[in-house]
């Protein structure tokens, strides 16, 4: 799969770095993403041939919602992966508009359409237990995309972000501030399990230190809302020594606010979004960014396909590559692309340039 990564010096560095860091894979082991971007985190395996079915297959997806550039790119990568496989006859993608009740209805509809495999990104895992259980009882493999692994009894889990995401930023700020000071926390969308897990990881990382959370706000992973909230905090004069962000659009917004207000920058966290990497580089902020690859989308499609082919998979996979830092920022930033691009894409470079050229 390494040929799917962007060609060029930046991703050559990435491929070499992660290959050296990644454990060796068995020759017959299914590779959901290039080495270093994801790892099997459970020794348990699905039984071979349990879900084997003759193509063409109908694969259904129940996703939480749209609304940010990461999701847009992830969906494009997921749909491209499905369209490139001639054995997938139908790829049914639904999104719940961030409404738990709609996700329940979407899942019921996908089951009525008799999908052969189901990919579900649970908004509220406990609320979709019945639908997932119904799918499994009907012999339909379920790939859990994102969160809820301790609540949902699915076939395979493909995870990323979560507590490890929050932990990266928390550890960075704890180290930069010498274990003391005041932090602002910019959270995502209230009530979303992924948001809660990121925040929990951040809190655990600063636990036991003398760091105080001066204020926390919900910026909905959104630039405009994040900017308004940051403007309010800057104008209030509240002390701040560092800022933890649950998403990079909010970080980029706050960097702009600090520049417009003439306020000295403080250490800030973000994620692997090209717009944030540009703002990070241009502003010279001291930062750290966990990599949350949109390649998780196609990884779930590959997992569903492998199960339908009768192959054996690990029951749990997790994506948590080494973070981007000031030291390796130039290896990831794409100055030839616009702010909407997210690094470690599975798209070929010609498609990346078509979608994200400045």
pLDDT of residue 123: 87
Mean local confidence (pLDDT), 292-317: 97
**Which DSSP symbol is given to 105?**
H
| Residue 38 CA, distance from chain mean position | 12
Q: Which two tokens stand for residue 59?
A: 């694969």
pLDDT of 201 above 70: yes
Binning pLDDT at 50, 70 and 90, where does residue 193 land?
Answer: confident
Burial class, 340, CB count within 10 angstroms (exposed 0-12 / middle 13-18 / buried 19+) = middle
Q: Could you tell me where the DSSP H helices lie in the chain?
A: 9-21, 69-83, 100-112, 129-137, 162-176, 193-206, 223-236, 248-261, 274-283, 296-308, 349-356
163-289 CATH, one of 3.10.580.10, 3.40.50.2300, 3.40.50.300, 1.10.620.20: 3.40.50.2300
The packing angle between helices 69-83 and 349-356, to 10°, is 140
DSSP, res 239: -
Overall average pLDDT of the 103-107 stretch? 98
Residues 6+ apart with CB under 8 A from 20: none
Q: Are 312 and 47 in contact (CB under 8 A)?
A: yes
Structure tokens of 49? 């041939």
Please give the span between the terminal C-alpha atoms of the chain, in angstroms, as a whole number: 27
Report the run of H or E that residue 316 belongs to, with start and end: strand 316-319
Contact 189, 219 (CB under 8 A): no
| Chain Cα centroid distance, residue 278 | 19
| CA-to-CA dists, residue 203 to 156, 173, 183, 207, angstroms | 28, 11, 11, 6
| Residue 13, pLDDT above cutoff 50 | no
> Could you tell me which of 34, 91, 32, 83 has the C-alpha nearest to residue 62?
91
SS (H, E, C) 193-238: HHHHHHHHHHHHHHCCCEEEEEEEEECCCCHHHHHHHHHHHHHHCC
Closest CA to 148 of 124, 131, 166: 124
Q: Write out the two tokens for 309.
A: 């082919």
CATH 3.40.50.2300: which residues of the chain? 23-160+293-321, 163-289
194 — pLDDT class (breaks 50, 70, 90): confident
Summarised one tens digit per residue, pLDDT across range 214-227 is 999 999 999 999 99
Quickly state the pLDDT bin for 289 (edges 50, 70, 90).
very high
The model's pTM is 0.84
In terms of CATH, what superfamily is 23-160+293-321? Response regulator (3.40.50.2300)
Distance of CA 15 to the CA centre of its chain: 19
Pairing of strands 39-40, 316-319: antiparallel
Q: Is the pLDDT of residue 325 over 60?
A: yes
Question: pLDDT averaged over the chain?
Answer: 90
């Amino acid at each position: 799969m390494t040929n799917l990564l962007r060609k060029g010096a930046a991703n050559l560095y990435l491929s070499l770095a992660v290959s050296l860091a990644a454990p060796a894979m068995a020759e017959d082991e299914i590779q959901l993403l290039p080495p270093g971007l994801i790892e099997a985190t459970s020794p348990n395996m699905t039984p071979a041939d349990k879900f084997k079915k003759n193509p063409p297959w109908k694969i259904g997806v129940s996703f939480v919602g749209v609304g940010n550039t990461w999701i847009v790119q992830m969906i494009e990568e997921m749909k491209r992966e499905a369209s490139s496989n001639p054995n997938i006859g139908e790829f049914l993608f639904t999104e719940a508009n961030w409404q738990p009740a709609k996700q329940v209805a979407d899942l019921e509809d996908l089951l009525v359409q008799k999908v052969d495999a189901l990919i579900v990104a649970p908004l509220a895992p406990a609320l979709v237990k019945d639908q997932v259980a119904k799918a499994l009882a009907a012999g339909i493999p379920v790939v859990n995309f994102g969160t809820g692994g301790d609540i949902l009894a699915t076939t395979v889990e493909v995870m990323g972000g979560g507590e490890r995401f929050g932990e990266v930023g928390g550890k960075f700020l704890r180290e930069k501030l010498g274990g003391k000071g005041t932090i602002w926390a910019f959270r995502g969308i209230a009530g979303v399990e992924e948001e809660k897990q990121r925040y929990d990881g951040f809190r655990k990382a600063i636990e036991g230190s003398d760091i105080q959370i001066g204020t926390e706000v919900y910026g909905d992973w959104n630039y405009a809302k994040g900017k308004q909230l940051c403007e309010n905090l800057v104008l209030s004069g509240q002390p701040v020594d560092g800022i933890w962000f649950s998403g990079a659009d909010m970080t980029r917004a706050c960097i702009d606010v600090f520049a417009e207000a003439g306020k000295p920058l403080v250490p800030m966290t973000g994620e692997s979004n090209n717009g944030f990497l540009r703002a990070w580089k241009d502003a010279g902020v001291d930062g750290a960014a966990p990599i949350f690859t949109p390649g998780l989308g196609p990884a779930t499609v590959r997992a569903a396909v492998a199960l339908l082919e009768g192959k054996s998979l690990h029951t749990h996979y997790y994506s948590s590559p080494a973070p981007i830092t000031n030291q390796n920022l130039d290896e990831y930033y794409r100055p030839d692309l616009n702010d909407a691009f997210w690094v470690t894409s599975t798209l070929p470079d010609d498609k990346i340039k078509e979608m994200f050229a400045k």
